[in-house]
Structure 1
């Protein structure tokens, strides 16, 4: 980064560090102790919609890779689209299989990246719920290399529980690289599993 970049306020883009995803299982222990949220087993990778043979081949590769998991039940990865035009590759595991879910998310992200779809990757998320029906997701921002909590209010159309999000941010500060710029805590309405 040069002097001109500093003067013009340009920043060097953060290189995605997909290995940050492997911090989720230990963060889940902290999250359960601090706020009573346990993994749901649902996770997803969000990306700008891609069409064509190259993406179909990548999707088949991801399916084959996750099919190799002998302990897996159900479809390895489902492809869905939300109302905002984004695509989601969704992995569903049992609630006790968070490490395996993280492996799935890492594999999907890596396959997309290796096959040239890195610029389309937006985020990955893992779902959590408490005993009262509240849900939240820990969202990994691919282009920032950071996490943030997203907590939609139950029964409310596109409203968030900001207090819960800040509580989770404080609880996980030592476990995850938390996004400090709150304006980048984008809502993921329509995310599978939420």
Structure 2
């Protein structure tokens, strides 16, 4: 069963509710206090089945949306040239850098987004805005998931909170550092319990799909879509 089948499922799904994304900053506070994981400053949106002219138009609209994300409409945050400390991997997509779409080994398209780690609220707003744009442009059926990456403050582990668009639910994904496609199931279950009061967590464990290759994790290298 592929990613699309797992995420879409064959049963009636909850109506998408993108406003649930706004619960992530509060959940991040609980995650940091209770498990020692802090925002990594990266997130992404994943979708499938957009090609040709439709994809070209979509890419242009997304770039214009993110380029406008700045106090002066330039996409550059006030007091920053996008290259100073606090910008993981360079300036964020909404901070003067053109957003680049990437493709994973399964053919799904990802849009990585970056913000300073201490600006999770803006990252959530970026992810929400991109999802909304795709939804309003008629690409809702192609939307699969969004994720937010976190890093352990006193160790090497990383995890992501994954939002399933068509389910309206979240689940944690935690790869084992240095291991090829192995998950830290104990950590994932503990994070689910920790955030049960903060986010609508996905109760069906079969839908906790491993998002190997997603931005913000230690996956195989991704190739940019031409």
TM-score, scaled relative to structure 1: 0.91
**Distance (Å, rounded) in 2 between the aligned partners of 1:127 and 1:13:** 25
3-state SS of paired residue (1:19): helix
The residue aligned with 1:26 is 26
Give RMSD over aligned pairs: 1.3
1:29-53 superposed Cα distances (whole Å, 9 cap, x missing partner): 0000010000011000111142121
2:201 counterpart of 1:178:
yes
2:171 counterpart of 1:148:
yes
Higher helix content, 1 or 2: 1
1:150-185 superposed Cα distances (whole Å, 9 cap, x missing partner): 000000000000000001001000000000111110
How much has 1:74 moved relative to structure 2?
4.6
2:98 counterpart of 1:98:
no
Q: Is the 8 A contact 1:41 1:93 kept in 2?
A: yes
How much has 1:55 moved relative to structure 2?
2.1
The residue aligned with 1:159 is 182
3-state SS of paired residue (2:105): coil
Report the CA distance shift for 1:20/1:148 in structure 2 as closer, same or farther (over 3 A).
Answer: same
1:113-164 superposed Cα distances (whole Å, 9 cap, x missing partner): 1111111111000000012110000000011000000000000000000000
Report the CA distance shift for 1:155/1:74 in structure 2 as closer, same or farther (over 3 A).
Answer: farther
The residue aligned with 2:100 is 78
Q: Pairwise mapping of residues 106-145 of structure 1 onto structure 2 (< 5 A)?
A: 106-131=128-153, 132-145=155-168
**Distance (Å, rounded) in 1 between the aligned partners of 2:191 and 2:14:** 24
How much has 1:11 moved relative to structure 2?
4.9
Q: Is the 8 A contact 2:67 2:96 kept in 1?
A: no
How much has 1:57 moved relative to structure 2?
1.2
TM-score, scaled relative to structure 2: 0.79
Aligned length: 185
Extract unaligned runs of 5+ from structure 1.
Answer: 1-9
